[in-house]
Amino acid sequence: MLPYLIAASPSLLFGTFSLILGRWQGDDRQKVFGIFAGAFLTALVATPFLGAKWSPQIVIISFISGVSAFIGIRDQTRCLRVLGVSRTMPISTGLQLVAASLAGVVLMGEWRGAGAMPVGLVAIAMLVAGVWLTSRREKGAEGDQLDWRLGARLLATSTVGLVGFLVIVQYFGISGRDAMLPQAVGYGLAALVLTSPRIMRDGDGRDTRWSRATIPFMVAGVLWAIAILVLMITSSMVGVATGFTLAQLGVILSTLGGIWWLGEHRTRRELIWTLAGLALVVAGAFVVGYAKSLDV
């Protein structure tokens, strides 16, 4: 039981991560730069204890994976501002699970075990239905006034980035221990360059990254990096499918916290749709995990 409880702990960190971004004040540049500064420092401290082994291929592929993580977190962070935490996170989680599952089937030959494909297709259907329900809004309500066109674009690009972060290293058979620091160099360098005022245009054009407002978001980056590290370690204890599935449970905390702690408004109908969609996304995550387990 203890390994499973530990394997579920990243979900609390991921859920808290998104709530911090929604709660604390700062512009997008400060949030993104702070996240990756904190994550880079965490990787730097943790790596000497991981027994990592590197080759030129591992370093290059992991670096590319880290840049992909930057794109994913940057656009997810921006989407939190555009759509809110309680709308972004269940949709984002569902889309990531669908995209990661399809990538596993196409690129890595997953779901080839007896019964895995039908179960996996049921899981995808549940996830798609959950995403649709979560994104529904009542005409004329507050949610109907949000910039859904921009939100949809950010959800698409963040999904590609975050799924790429995981799938790229899996495709080349690189362990999380070996990938962690080169990934950190990738997203750290991307954050340093791509959050500059010349490229990431927010506010009045001043470089706001080097201020006190950035420090709290470094805490969020530490939480994200620790969650990735714990997920990497516990996956070897409970299995990759189970560990990945349990890590998605943070969507419950972020969605409900966004509504009741951050005060993101829902009409009565929208609340019912959101809760039903959230239940489908969580259930779909477990069915995805079950489909993966059938490959063993």
> What distance in Å separates the CA atoms of residue 147 and residue 85, rounded to the nearest whole number?
14
> What distance in Å separates the CA atoms of residue 220 and residue 38, rounded to the nearest whole number?
7
Task: Write the CA distances from 74 to 39, 44, 242, 251, integer angstroms.
Answer: 13, 21, 27, 18
Q: pLDDT tens digit string along 147-198?
A: 999 999 999 999 999 999 988 998 998 988 999 999 999 999 999 999 988 8
Q: pLDDT tens digit string along 55-111?
A: 999 999 999 999 999 999 999 999 999 999 999 999 999 999 999 889 888 888 888
Residues in the chain: 296
Domain boundaries of the chain, sorted by first residue = 2-293
Give me the pLDDT at residue 203, please.
58
Report the predicted TM-score, pTM, of the whole model to 2 decimal places. 0.91
> What distance in Å separates the CA atoms of residue 191 and residue 275, rounded to the nearest whole number?
35
Q: pLDDT tens digit string along 2-20?
A: 777 787 888 899 999 999 9
Give me the pLDDT at residue 76, please.
96
Give me the pLDDT at residue 241, please.
66
> Who has greater pLDDT, 292 or 273?
273
Q: Which two tokens stand for residue 281?
A: 């996304």
